[in-house]
Amino acid sequence: MEKFSQFRDRGSGISPFMPSPAPTPSLLSTLSGPLIFLLRLPFFVLYTISYFLLLPLLPSPLRKLLLWGFFALTGTWWSDLQLDGVKRGSLSQQPPSRIPRGGTVIAANFTSPLDAVYLAAVWDCVFVQSFPGSRQVRRLSLWQAISLALSPRQLAGPPAGDNEKLTTIAQLLKEYPTRAIAVFPECATTNGKGILPLSPSLLTVPNSTQIFPLSLRYTPVDDTTPVPGGAKVWLSFLWKLLARPTHCIRIRIGEGLVNTVGASNGVSHGESSAVDVRGRQERGDGELTAEEQRLLDKVAETLARLGRAKRVGLTVEDKKNFVKAWEKRRR
């Protein structure tokens, strides 16, 4: 893997884009894997197609319940949930303000298609796609959020010349006041070992809204999908998802953070962000103030600590180059 050493973070030595190795299978799992896959596949396909066809007609509680059915079908279990700084066994004693809820923002790390499924199952989130260096986002459906983790579309910038498809988190909070907004501020998937520099899309969050850093980690570790691609990547993930008896999710939720930039300037980002962002991009003025950078740093540091990862200096542009090199190696 010397060829890919240029894609290691210089400070930590971490390579966040390298696929995690699969655990060594036992003889039993090698023999039972194909059988489990074939037994689950028809039910999984039928369940998935039915869910997304009926999705627009379903009320929120039923949508969430059916997603837990998806987890049961694939043997994916929510095994370990903790709030940062809260002792085990005392979750039920925490106030509602300590966890994400409607009208708040979830800033999650981005490692797997299962990220969006879990967030939708618990909070029925509104999903958005963030872009490097842009304060605007693109609204995503649940299916688009799931497929983004496997698609090269995560490496593309904002749609050129089509601002109608772009909005801000502040505007979405107004449109969906009873739902949480889920953001993947790293913009592209990793193997979970590093946190990429965050998009400034979080800076449009009003100062009255909490931002909850949330870390998701998986067992087996190769449930992550750091390298996007075509049909082969999709089929590989489907095989791992359905051929293994169980998958576990470890969730860590940080304390709610507040964007104090607007408050300190006497301006509410929620009121002016949509106009200001468009004007700022047209002028090419995308630089961050020191206070804005501190907010992004605080979110990134919390995500790294919760996920036992390291912050890295590699960017989405570095990942584009990594994917090109990886595809050449695989040919």
Share of the chain above pLDDT 90, in %: 75
Amino acid at 274: A
Quote the pLDDT of residue 29.
86
**Is residue 26 predicted with pLDDT exceeding 90?**
no
The DSSP result for 71-130, as a single string, is HHHHTEEEEEEEETT--TT-GGGS-GGGS--TT-EEEE----THHHHHHHHHH-PEEEEE
List strand residue ranges (DSSP E) for the chain, in order. 76-83, 105-108, 126-130, 137-140, 166-167, 181-183, 194-195, 210-219, 247-253, 257-258, 310-311
Quote the mean pLDDT of the chain. Answer: 89
Quote the pLDDT of residue 161.
64
**Is residue 263 predicted with pLDDT exceeding 50?**
no
Is the model more confident about 327 or about 305?
305
Residues 6+ away with beta carbon under 8 Å from 171: 273, 274
Nearest one of 250, 226, 255 to 319, comparing CA atoms = 226
Across the range 289-311, mean pLDDT stands at 96
Quote the pLDDT of residue 78.
75
**Is residue 157 predicted with pLDDT exceeding 60?**
yes
Confidence at 272, pLDDT banded by 50, 70, 90: very low
Q: 129 pairs with which residues across the strands?
A: 138
**Is residue 269 predicted with pLDDT exceeding 70?**
no
Confidence at 261, pLDDT banded by 50, 70, 90: confident
Tokens for 255, please give them: 């304390």
Confidence at 265, pLDDT banded by 50, 70, 90: very low
Question: Using CA atoms, how far apart are residues 323 and 317, in angstroms rounded to an integer?
Answer: 10
Share of the chain above pLDDT 70, in %: 89
Confidence at 158, pLDDT banded by 50, 70, 90: confident
**Is residue 208 predicted with pLDDT exceeding 80?**
yes
Confidence at 331, pLDDT banded by 50, 70, 90: low
Confidence at 116, pLDDT banded by 50, 70, 90: very high
Is the model more confident about 157 or about 278?
157
